[in-house]
Structure formats: structure tokens, C-alpha cells
Structure 1
Amino acid sequence: MRFRALFAALPILLAASAATAEGVSPRPEGGWRVEFSQGQSALSTRDRHALAGIAQTLAPIPAGRITVQAQASGPADDASIARRLSLARAAAVRDALVAAGLVATRVDIRALGRLEPPADIAEILPPGVPRATPGTR
């Protein structure tokens, strides 16, 4: 019962989060989105600060996995480039969350590569928020 109450309150927690900065924003479906420049996987100092706030928001949630899924708008004719870049982005976001105090064993990463439409993002999905179903890569 306690977990149901927590999951029922989760959308409110996510919407009320103050952890936004340039490049990091709340997703309408829940969770957060980190935007990257095309071809880049490095996080700015502002993004790291925002991710530290998100880690503090997620750390008290007692159970459930956090997923970081990333995409890249790499060339359509070479899926491996987009897959590697999206993996680097997901790892960078995970590492920033862990550095800010989130337990590493609670964070899964998914490298989605290039999806349609192409995007240069990583998404942080707390427990209870639906995960993407990969489309065309």
C-alpha cells in the first residue's frame, strides 16, 4: 500500500521539481530531458548542477529503477555511430546522477541510437514512468 501511495504521488513530485536549467527540462510524461548539441556527449556545468538536484529528488524514493535512455541524430546510414554516441550520453547522465548521490545500482542505461524523428537527448525516467519503445533506427 505504501508503494502505491508513493507512485500515485510521483507525478506531483516530478512536476514540482525545481531542478531545471539550460539543457535540462521536465518531460510532460514525467521524468526529465537533457538536450545535447549534435555530436556531443559532454554535460555543461549547469546541466550537472540540475542533475544533482534531480538526484536529490530521486534518492528518497525507496524502491524502483531509474532508467536513463539516450538518442542521437547521427547519420542515418551508420547506426553504430548513433548507438555509440547515445551510449556515451546515457553514461554521462548516469555518472552525474551517481556523483550527486544516487545509488549506481538503481540506474539503468539504454542506448537507443537513432530513432525517428532524430533527437539529441537523454531522458531520465523514474519508477512508474513509461519507457520508450524503439522505433526506426
Structure 2
Amino acid sequence: MIAALLLPAGLGAAPRPGQAPESRPIPAEPAPAPPAPARLAPGPQPAQPVPAVPEPRPFPLPPGLEALPGGAWRLRFAAGTEAPPRSADAALEALGARLATLPEGRVTLLAQASGPASDVSTARRLSLARGLAVKEALVAGGLPATRIDLRPMGRTEEATDVVDVQPPAAR
């Protein structure tokens, strides 16, 4: 009887005759410890200022090639001609070499023609041919063709025969 008082009902006692054994849940093993926190790289660093694209240094300009405000250059064409003046060939190649040294950015060629106001198609084709000729000369100087955007403007309000070369910093 003392044993019955000391032991709570069903603990350690054998089942009585005619009685089903007591079903008790088996204690689960303790959960494993959580993994140690992952070591992450240091948090975001303060943003580094993006260096400005340096403007190409001025160089001697041949006849027909002039500097524009903002670092761009203008090449003048004779009315109705597609090819740049022969005097500008070396300068365009040198300009292509200088522009190729810039770390990034695209060069834009804005080509214009003073063709007849009544025939916009002719002026557009002429400005495209001029732009392609200047692009070819810049590529010959080392500027990758993939960094050159060509915009054949056709006849504009200015009605000039020019191709403007705009470096990335000029925009």
C-alpha cells in the first residue's frame, strides 16, 4: 500500500489483469541546436562617387573641323557631297583614337544636309551617307563602331552641311 501511495497511478506499476497496458507517448529527443548564424560580408559600403568622364584635350583642328561649345566638334561638308574633306581625314582618325581612350560612353554623330526643302528623302539619305563616312573614319582611328550612335537628321532649320561629333561628356 505504501508503494501505491508513493507511485502515482500507472507509473512503474504493471497492468492489472484484464486491463490493457497504458499507452504513454515516448518522450522525443531534444531538438538539435540551431546552426550558428552565417557570417555575411560586411554591410553595404558607402557609394563611391562616379568619376566624371574627362573631356578630350583639345588638339590642332584642320580646316573644316571646328570646336563647338560643350566639347563637341563640327565637320563642314561641301554642299551635295557625301565624303568628308580630304584635309579632315587625319584629324578624324586622331579624334577616333582620342575618343577610344575614354573609359566609357557613346559618341553621337548628328549629320545634317542642306538639301532641297521640297525633298526630305534626298536630304536624309545625304546626311546618312555623311554620318557613315565620319563613323568609318573614327573607327579607322580605333573607336569601336559599337560605341557610335548615328543620327541622320536630314534637312534641319539650320540647313547646314555638317556632321557634329559629340563625345559622351558633351550631352
TM-score by length of structure 1 reads 0.84
C-alpha distance in structure 2 between counterparts of 1:19 and 1:32, whole Å = 12
| DSSP-derived class of the 1:43 partner | coil
C-alpha distance in structure 2 between counterparts of 1:126 and 1:3, whole Å = 18
Post-superposition CA distance 1:30-82 (Å, at most 9, x none)? 21100000001112332111101111211110111001110000000110010
Which residues in structure 2 correspond to 1:21-40 (within 5 Å)?
A: 21-40=62-81
Tell me which residue corresponds to 1:4: 51
Flag the 1:55–1:122 CA change in 2: closer, same or farther, 3 A.
same
| DSSP-derived class of the 1:117 partner | coil
C-alpha distance in structure 1 between counterparts of 2:130 and 2:60, whole Å = 19
Which residues in structure 2 correspond to 1:104-123 (within 5 Å)?
A: 104-123=145-164
| DSSP-derived class of the 1:70 partner | strand
For structure 2, list consecutive stretches of 5 or more residues without a partner in the other structure. Answer: 1-47
Select 1:66's aligned residue among 103, 107, 120.
107
C-alpha distance in structure 2 between counterparts of 1:71 and 1:38, whole Å = 11
C-alpha distance in structure 2 between counterparts of 1:24 and 1:109, whole Å = 18
Name which structure has the greater RCO, CA cutoff 8 Å, separation 6+: 1
| DSSP-derived class of the 1:28 partner | coil
Post-superposition CA distance 1:110-136 (Å, at most 9, x none)? 100001021100010111323xxxxxx
More helix by share: 1
Q: Are the aligned partners of 1:19 and 1:54 in contact in 2 as well (CA < 8 Å)?
A: no
For structure 1, list consecutive stretches of 5 or more residues without a partner in the other structure. Answer: 131-137
Select 1:83's aligned residue among 112, 117, 124.
124
What is the percent sequence identity of the aligned residues? 43
Q: Are the aligned partners of 2:77 and 2:85 in contact in 1 as well (CA < 8 Å)?
A: no
The one-letter amino acid paired with 2:51 is R
Tell me which residue corresponds to 1:135: none
Flag the 1:41–1:3 CA change in 2: closer, same or farther, 3 A.
farther
The one-letter amino acid paired with 1:103 is P
Select 1:18's aligned residue among 34, 59, 63.
59
| DSSP-derived class of the 1:90 partner | helix
The one-letter amino acid paired with 1:72 is A
Flag the 1:109–1:19 CA change in 2: closer, same or farther, 3 A.
farther
